[in-house]
Amino acid sequence: MGNGQLDAMKPAVYLIDVTNRDGVQTSRILLPKLSKTMLNTYLDEMGIYQSEVGFPTLRHEVNYINANLQLAKIGAIKRLHLEGWCRAIPEDIELTFKNCPDIKHLNVSVSTSDVMLRGKFQGRKTWKDILHSLVGSVKLAKQLGAETLGVNAEDASRTDLDRLIEFIHAGRESGADRFRYCDTLGADDPITIYDRIKTLALATNFPIEMHCHNDLGMGEAVSVTGAQAAIESGADAYINTTINGYGERAGNCDLVSTILALKFSHGLKDRIPLDDHVDLQRAWKVAKYASYAFNLPIPINQPGVGSNAFAHESGIHADGALKDRRNYELYDPEDVGRGEPELLETGRIITTGEYGGIKGFRHVYDSLGIHFTDDNQARKVLELVQYANLHTQKPLTDDELRLTATYPDIVRQVLTVAL
Ligand SMILES: [Zn+2]
């Protein structure tokens, strides 16, 4: 087009990371609230559009969510939308705004497929009941202050398209801003999802979120082809991701792989524009931190961030890579923020944490360039550091220590749960 204004209006793909909701609800993997908070700050630095922060109706999430909303209010989280997830029933909407009055972004979810309607509601809810509850929920959320709201069709990939179109119209007419297509079982493939999303986008011209699971090993493939169908039909597209693909069963669509696919794959790189705030060079930092915080290793062959992603040994490959890296590498380590050596202290080390005292605490913070002149303030932050470490049960990272010293009152709220 060549015209800047027209270019700015072209549809683009925006990323909504759901690690702090779908990732943490997963069986047998856990994330402390302080780590969820760190992930929100890293996602913000990475230029991700939105983070699904968790469940505002769940009591142990409430302080953490309100504290993160406060971080956004004071500008510590700059652009990232902090969005809550709840069921599409008016009771959940009421409780959400009672618990978190400042929340501005929501996604509300309900099952739409016949198999789930029969299997979950056992005949207690008809399709008309579902739509009625959806409309009531969206209207109430907008009345109570939601600025953006997505309507999620759980099990959309096993739902008739006519029914999904009806769902989208009902959502839009009651004030929703986006539709989330959930491939809840990971059953779609790139060709079927392309066709289905194209039909929905052409019939409704409504922004579509792709929420895809990896049960067939195609989580990213179906997400990007679904987004492509939306964009090619003139609609904005959003892709739900999780860091390192952590999520239910075989996981969700992986954040870094999705960005790599949009930036480097033959079919997408020049045709499907990605939100230009996204900074792929933050990938290494966010993936490494999530791995540390979840206590889960990054697979050796993980795209971009696995330890073998830029390793070459076999004769022909090593020779080719040494002559010209482009022989065997699609992108560079620096593209994903790698390349700097990581130094590991092998001599004397002073740490601070759960059982630390004031001298060690001051030493650690001095080395971070943070100096406490007020003794009372130092003792207050030391106590918070003790509790933060009690909470995470692993050595606090430099960024966790910085966050604790910079926003002590907010971190205190993150660490506090009430029964
Ligand atoms: Zn999911």
pLDDT tens string 322-338? 999 999 999 999 999 99
Region 279-300: mean pLDDT is 98
Q: What is the mean pLDDT of the chain?
A: 95
Q: Decide if 144 contacts 188 (C-beta within 8 A).
A: no
Take residue 411 and report the two structure tokens written for it: 């971190």
The H or E element that residue 171 is part of is helix 161-173
| 336 Cα to the center of ligand 1, angstroms | 26
Whether the pLDDT of residue 212 is over 70: the answer is: yes
Handedness of CA 408, 40, 303, 254 (dihedral sign): positive
Whether the pLDDT of residue 116 is over 90: the answer is: yes
Whether the pLDDT of residue 44 is over 80: the answer is: yes
Helix, strand, or coil here: 270? coil
Helix, strand, or coil here: 29? coil
Region 62-67: mean pLDDT is 98
| 248 Cα to the center of ligand 1, angstroms | 7
Whether the pLDDT of residue 8 is over 70: the answer is: no
Query: Which is it for strands 178-183 and 208-212: parallel, antiparallel or unpaired?
Result: parallel
Q: Does pTM surpass 0.75?
A: yes
Q: For the segment 132-159, what is each residue's pLDDT rounded down to a tens digit?
A: 999 999 999 999 999 999 999 999 999 9
| 182 Cα to the center of ligand 1, angstroms | 7
| 22 Cα to the center of ligand 1, angstroms | 6
Compute, in degrees rounded to 10, the torsion defined by CA atoms 237, 239, 240, 246.
170
Compute, in degrees rounded to 10, the torsion defined by CA atoms 59, 60, 65, 67.
120
What are the distances in angstroms from CA 208 to CA 149, 201, 262? 12, 8, 17
Say which residue the tokens 């509300």 belong to: 108
Q: For the segment 381-416, what is each residue's pLDDT rounded down to a tens digit?
A: 999 999 999 999 999 999 999 999 999 999 999 999
Contacts of 221 (CB under 8 A, 6+ apart): 189, 190, 261
Using alpha carbons only, what angle is made at residue 144 by residues 242 and 126, rounded to the nearest 5 degrees? 70
In our burial notation (b when 16+ CB lie closer than 10 A, e otherwise), range 297-311 reads ebeeebbbbbeebbe
Take residue 154 and report the two structure tokens written for it: 């759980």
At residue 224, the pLDDT reads 98
| 93 Cα to the center of ligand 1, angstroms | 20
At residue 419, the pLDDT reads 77
Region 104-127: mean pLDDT is 93
Whether the pLDDT of residue 56 is over 80: the answer is: yes
Region 5-33: mean pLDDT is 87
Region 87-94: mean pLDDT is 98
| 220 Cα to the center of ligand 1, angstroms | 13
Whether the pLDDT of residue 109 is over 80: the answer is: yes
Burial class of residue 340 (count of CB atoms within 10 Å of its CB; 0-12, 13-18, 19+): exposed
Rg (the chain; Cα; Å): 23
At residue 343, the pLDDT reads 86
At residue 337, the pLDDT reads 98
Region 168-191: mean pLDDT is 98
What is the pLDDT confidence band of residue 9, given thresholds at 50, 70 and 90? low
| 236 Cα to the center of ligand 1, angstroms | 20
What are the distances in angstroms from CA 169 to CA 144, 155, 179, 208? 21, 18, 10, 13
What is the pLDDT confidence band of residue 51, given thresholds at 50, 70 and 90? very high
